[in-house]
Structure 1
Amino acid sequence: MPEGHSVHRITRQFARNFVGHRVEASSPQGRFAAGAAEISGRTMIDARAVGKQMFLEFDDDVWLRVHLGMYGAWDFAGDIRLDATIASANGRMGQTNQRGTILDAPNPDAVVFDADGENSLSSIGAPRRTRVRMAESEKENDALAEFPPPPIGQVRVRLLTENVCADLRGPTACEVRDSAEVEAIVAKLGPDPLLDDSPEAEERFTTVIRKKPTPIGLLLMDQSVVSGIGNVYRAEMLFRANLDPHTPGKLVPEETVRALWHDWAHLLRIGVETGQMMTMDGLEGEEWRQAMANRADRHWVYKREGLPCRVCGTNIVLEEMGARKLYWCPSCQR
């Protein structure tokens, strides 16, 4: 499932390529035909992400809400312009693998291609008129013979401008809402430090955690507690905090809870800037390149079950928590 950094990156691409443009909408598979008809012909005026959910605003108070879920993916095609804030970073969006050419990187030798398919590859700026396939099983860019290209797979909705199209496949949620409904949905979500890193947001996170008897390993995945954290970040943040995943939230020391909030803000910004869920700090040179290229070299515990802990040598444990796989070190995290 795409985690918060991926959804923010996708939304930035919509802001760069769609906002301010008149959009034609269709539903090639037919399941979103009525919703597409409500959107089509309108101008996109905003694109925003809150945690794992994205909201695309059109004129006359029409919004498209999308939650990618486990299998959702956006494919962009056409004359794609990469968002300037991530133009020099490796970049994949959501359930994506994308190959391209870094146009703006100050040091092209620093570009590292992800070998594991976990996150991103490079810029989507070249060649022009390209298709960026953004699904876990599709790993290449294709030059386009025609524009717009024919839909691939079961496309729930296609958004099309004069230069770019975006195809959505396999989302958990895809629905038209108005601003009042969007506000109600967002109000139920926990704070997202990329949108609000204020003391008030930190206090809200800390207060909720410290009241709950629920294990901290479940609370970090609860999107009403904090937005954007998924399975990878959960495991890595708990290890970085030396925290047993089974500890009830109310028993986690306050300073540890606050440190978790700041660590999430730190890791989320790295993820948005680089496209990688890089959770090991202090890497430089070849170590950094290796970690950016291979998941096995950039995580402390995730996907390392049965392997020795990088700190203490104890074998990493795999168990199920909240219907998701949890990786942790029973020695370091106690």
Structure 2
Amino acid sequence: MPEGHTLHRLAELHTRRFGGRRVSVSSPQGRFSGEAAQLDGAEFLRAEAYGKHLVHHYRERASVHVHLGLYGKFSEAERPETEPVGQVRMRIIGPTHWTDLRGPIRCELVDPGELDRLLTGLGPDPLRADSDPGDAWQRISRSRTSIAALLMDQSVLAGVGNVFRAELLFRHGLDPATPGERLTERRWERMWADLAELMRHGVRTGRIDTVRPEHMPEVTGRQPRRDRHGGEVYVYRRAGQPCHVCGSEVALRELAARKLYWCPRCQGP
């Protein structure tokens, strides 16, 4: 599932290409055809991301809420547009570019009240200037749930997925099983600042890089990471491989039906 930085990249891209312009909206697949007809020819104001949610705002119309889920994806291209390929839920055509949306778990019109209710259920997003890390701290500091589970709870913290969760815990030497209530506020503030910077880097580059300069391949002499996800990471998808810092074997177990990666030595209890 795409993590928060991907949605923020999409929001910036769609605002740049369609913002302030009238657009054509359709649903070649048909599942969004009634809603698309209400938006067709309207002015696309801007796109915003809230955690893993993308919202398209239209002038004097309802907004479109998109959640990509595991399989959702936007494809982007310059005009002229081509015939739809596959199950295109929503197509947006602007003056210079067009985009197709396939496979989301949510693509729906929402009025201001519905959007407010959706956003009220989300924790703070480290990539949004209006987010307060203290809101997440209030939930974390009172919880006996493991910090690994809390970081993935979108009502606690919005936008963090499996990669950022694993890498953040490693970078701060934190045992994934540590209950939230055992963290200090100062430690949480450092984690929040680090997470925000890592995610901003992801928005700029389109990949997740979490390895510090002193542990990069060109410094240590190891081979660069070769993985379809890209990016240099410490533990994510590296189960059974040596830790870049201590050489111990990276561990793997399941937590809430998701794979959790960590170094037992660097992140010991």
Task: Please list every run of 5 or more consecutive structure 1 residues that lacks an aligned counterpart in the other structure.
Answer: 79-128, 130-146
Q: Report how many residues are paired.
A: 264
Q: Secondary structure at the match of 2:213?
A: coil
**Other-structure match for 2:7:** 7
**What does 1:1-334 align with in structure 2 at a 5 Å threshold?**
1-78=1-78, 129=79, 147-196=80-129, 201-282=132-213, 287=218, 298-334=232-268
Residue identity (%): 44
Instruction: State the 1:69 CA deviation.
Output: 0.8
Whether the 8 Å CA contact 1:61–1:179 is kept in 2: the answer is no
**What is the CA distance between 1:285 and its match in structure 2?**
9.3
Question: Aligned residue for 1:88?
Answer: none
C-alpha distance after superposition, 1:55-97 (max 9, x if no partner): 100011410000111111001111xxxxxxxxxxxxxxxxxxx
SS at match of 2:141: helix
Q: Equivalent residue of 1:220, what SS? A: helix
Deviation per residue, 1:298-331 (Å, 9 max, x gap): 1000111001111222211111112111111111
CA drift at 1:293: 7.5
User: How far does residue 21 in structure 1 lie from its aligned partner after superposition?
Assistant: 1.1
User: Does the 8 A contact of 1:50 with 1:228 survive in 2?
Assistant: yes
Cα distance, 1:285–1:224 mapped onto 2, change above 3 Å: closer
Deviations 1:143-181 (A, max 9, x none): xxxx21111211111111232111000111110011222
- Residue 242 of structure 2 aligns to which amino acid in structure 1? P
- Aligned CA distance change for structure 1 residues 291 and 175 (closer, same or farther; 3 Å): farther
In structure 1, what is the Cα distance between the partners aligned to 2:183 and 2:196?
19
The alpha-carbon distance between structure 1 residues 197 and 65, as it changes in their structure 2 partners (threshold 3 A), is closer
Q: State the shift of 1:292 in Å.
A: 8.4
Q: Distance in 1 between matches of 2:96 and 2:197?
A: 35
User: Aligned-pair distance for 1:27?
Assistant: 0.8
Structure possessing the higher relative contact order (Cα contacts under 8 Å, 6 or more residues apart): 1
- CA deviations 1:239-285 (Å, max 9, x no partner) are 11111111111112332222211111111111111111010122699
The 1:326–1:64 alpha-carbon spacing in structure 2 relative to 1, beyond 3 Å, is same
Q: Is the 8 A contact 1:209 1:257 kept in 2?
A: no
Once residues 200 and 66 of structure 2 are traced to their aligned partners in structure 1, the CA distance between those partners, rounded to angstroms, is 22
When the two structures are superposed, what TM-score results if normalisation uses the length of structure 2?
0.92
Q: Any stretches of 5+ residues in structure 2 without a counterpart?
A: none
Q: Give the CA deviation at 1:5.
A: 0.7
Change (3 A) 1:296 1:65: closer
Partners of 1:274 and 1:286 lie apart in 2 by: 19
Instruction: Give, as a single letter, the amino acid of the residue that structure 2 aligns with 1:149.
Output: T
Q: Residues 283 and 171 from structure 1, CA distance in 2 versus in 1: closer, same or farther, beyond 3 angstroms?
A: farther
Write the letter of the residue equivalent to 1:65.
H
Superposed CA RMSD in Å reads 2.1
Q: Distance in 1 between matches of 2:106 and 2:187?
A: 34
The one-letter code of the counterpart of 1:273 is R
On the 8 A contact 1:304/1:327 being kept in 2, the answer is yes
8 Å Cα contact 1:211/1:250 also seen in 2? yes
Find the counterpart in structure 2 of residue 107 from structure 1. Answer: none
TM-score of the two chains, using structure 1 as the length reference: 0.74
Instruction: Tell me which residue corresponds to 1:96.
Output: none
